Amino acid sequence: MSHSLIFHNAHLVDGSGQAGRVADVAVDGGTITAVEPGGSLAGASADRTVDADGLLLTPGWVDMHTHYDAQVTWDPYVTPSGWHGVTTVIMGNCGVGFAPAKPELHTTLIEMMESVEDIPGSALHAGLQWNWESYPEYLDALESMPRVMDVGSQIGHCPLRVYVMGERGSRNEPATADDIARMSAIVEDALRAGAFGFTTSRTPIHRTKDGELVPGTTADAHELLGIAEAIARVGRGLFQFAPEHSRLPIDEWPWMRRVAALTGQPVSVNLNQPDQAPDVWREVLRLLDEAHADGLPIVAQVAGRSIGILYCLQGSIHPLLFHPAYQEVAALPLAERLVALADPERRRRIIHDVPDDGGFFQKAVLEKLGRLWAVHGADIDYEPDASSSVAAEAQRLGVPPMQLVLDQLVADGGNGMLYAPFFNYSYGDLSFTEAVTRHPHTRMGLSDGGAHCGAICDGGMPTFMLTHWARDRRRGDRLPLEYVVHRQTSQTAALYGLADRGVVAPGMRADLNLIDFDRLGFDVPRMAYDLPAEGRRLVQHGRGYVGTWVNGVQTVDHDEFTGALPGRLLRSGR
């Protein structure tokens, strides 16, 4: 039999969680047709053969937590995810999005996304064409555009609420019975058109440009259950939300259980470790076990690393912004700013003077220097030791810590970076992340691909999972490579009902990564101005992807796009 494509003697980690093995894999069209022991297909003919000896072959990554809702309308390569072996993304998380959308609400939705997800409003205004109003029309618009990977979408509470309730929805006023019925009907239409779920935000971190809680944050159980009835009527659809972690086990869990029981479909809650409530996750894991014992499909969505800010002079925020000596030159172009920051008197003021601001600079910057690390090179240390923090380094060198902060930020032509974790680092390591990653009722997510453009670059988290957890970890136990692959392929695909992908097996979709595991890693993060209207974003390319295939078509060849765009819009239930 002749095949379209054969991989010979690959180290296959097939996504099932089973032990890796040497295998030959055949592909015909967009489907895997044979998986045999290495060398078994040596005599078979194929349009193309790939010598995969010494290389890792896996399913393509399925990233279930991204914010490409706008970017997929202008970027066919869906970067940074496209640089990191991702072949399927789910967007529309955390309640924000752009459909349904009346014309007079376009600016409101843009400002909401800009505020919550730090995507430049100028880029959104320039890039979004708004050739839709309803959510089904939004999906139709997405379907007409070629792209490098498959995308699925969810309907968010924020646009839904303001579409139905107008200013009352924006002000988080209680929804009436008629409001809830209309929202539920719109969600039902969205699900039947192919939405993969409904999402909302209940965290005080997510606020509008005016500092108000985003629509839906304080919605009561009656509203949430009324919307969830749409999922029950359709018989499919995930309910996802971002919580306030300290309230999660007490205030949120009762209605979560009711939603899961009503719909019979998964409820997914983001789970991080904030410093203010560092041990609440233990109770959440206990409640997850209890829910599954009761037959309720509740899962916690967890990140693979600490979540924090990459401080740089071109970013959204950095420590110097709070010092008046920097504010005097903050508006200058970068080259002129660097000259001003080299001025001896300005350097002295930044390094030695504590602003007379009621203690704000002391509390916000100086007292945080023990949780701040210089970034050296491409592979950011997301599990750094306290002994290498800015405060510790300054003490060792006998210099003021602000001298190290300033010197790092102006290094490399103003591209120097500092890393400050704010979630998942309360114990000074990634022991929280390891514990929740090993738990059977959590799922891998929270990469936030496409979001937090001026402060975070986490779209490469799938690559990090292999490099840090399966290969390089120094400060604790590593995770089996087979488990790490399983976490971001078949597990994430199954949660969204994508039964055709996530495992390398006959009959499955040919979404594949061929990886030089020893070389797998990252390029140096940089601020790029490549969004519409020259909007900025932090970018970090992956390296070590010998090839990525989507539906049997090669989209990446040795870390570069081939130009092929075989991706499509995914519609749930179809």
Summarize pLDDT for 405-463 with one digit per residue, the tens. 999 999 999 999 999 999 999 999 999 999 999 999 999 999 999 999 999 888 999 99
* Tokens read off for 410: 């102006």
pLDDT on residue 80:
97
N-term to C-term CA, the chain: 31
Summarize pLDDT for 103-137 with one digit per residue, the tens. 999 999 999 999 999 999 999 999 999 999 999 99
379: confidence class by pLDDT, cuts 50, 70, 90:
confident
Return the sign of the alpha-carbon dihedral for residues 358, 361, 362, 363: positive
CA dist., res. 570 & res. 472, Å (int):
35
Coil, strand, or helix at residue 300? strand
Give Cα 84 distance to the centre of its chain. 12
Summarize pLDDT for 420-431 with one digit per residue, the tens. 999 999 999 999
DSSP code for 468: I
Q: Using an 8 Å Cβ cutoff, are 345 and 391 in contact?
A: no
CA dist., res. 97 & res. 571, Å (int):
17
Other CB atoms within a 10 A radius of the CB of residue 34 amount to 18
CA dist., res. 556 & res. 84, Å (int):
10
- The dihedrals phi and psi of 33, each to the nearest 5 degrees, come to -115, -20
b/e per residue 297-312 (b: at least 16 CB within 10 A): bbbbbbbbbbbbbbbb
* Tokens read off for 274: 């904030």
Other CB atoms within a 10 A radius of the CB of residue 506 amount to 12
pLDDT at 377 over 90: no
| Average pLDDT of span 527-536 | 97
Q: Pick from 15, 28, 22: which is nearest to 6 by CA?
A: 28
Q: Using an 8 Å Cβ cutoff, are 72 and 570 in contact?
A: no
Identify the helix (H) or strand (E) that includes residue 39.
Answer: none
The radius of gyration computed from the CA coordinates of the chain, to the nearest angstrom, equals 24
Q: Using an 8 Å Cβ cutoff, are 515 and 489 in contact?
A: no
Partner residues linked to 274 by β-bridges: 423
Summarize pLDDT for 309-357 with one digit per residue, the tens. 999 999 999 999 999 999 999 999 999 999 999 999 999 999 999 999 9
Identify the helix (H) or strand (E) that includes residue 346.
Answer: helix 344-352
- The dihedrals phi and psi of 81, each to the nearest 5 degrees, come to -60, -35
Identify the helix (H) or strand (E) that includes residue 549.
Answer: strand 545-550
* Tokens read off for 148: 């490098």
472: confidence class by pLDDT, cuts 50, 70, 90:
very high
pLDDT at 45 over 90: yes
Q: Using an 8 Å Cβ cutoff, are 213 and 96 in contact?
A: no
Q: Pick from 267, 196, 92, 263: which is nearest to 496 by CA?
A: 196
pLDDT on residue 457:
85
Q: Using an 8 Å Cβ cutoff, are 6 and 32 in contact?
A: no
* Tokens read off for 121: 């409003």
pLDDT at 1 over 90: no
CA dist., res. 361 & res. 372, Å (int):
15
Summarize pLDDT for 220-246 with one digit per residue, the tens. 999 999 999 999 999 999 999 999 999
| Average pLDDT of span 524-534 | 96
* Tokens read off for 367: 């007292």
Q: What is the mean pLDDT of the chain?
A: 97
| Average pLDDT of span 457-474 | 96
CA dist., res. 164 & res. 373, Å (int):
46
pLDDT at 147 over 80: yes
**Domains of the chain in sequence order:** 61-306+426-561 (3.20.20.140), 309-421 (no CATH)
* Tokens read off for 26: 């055949």
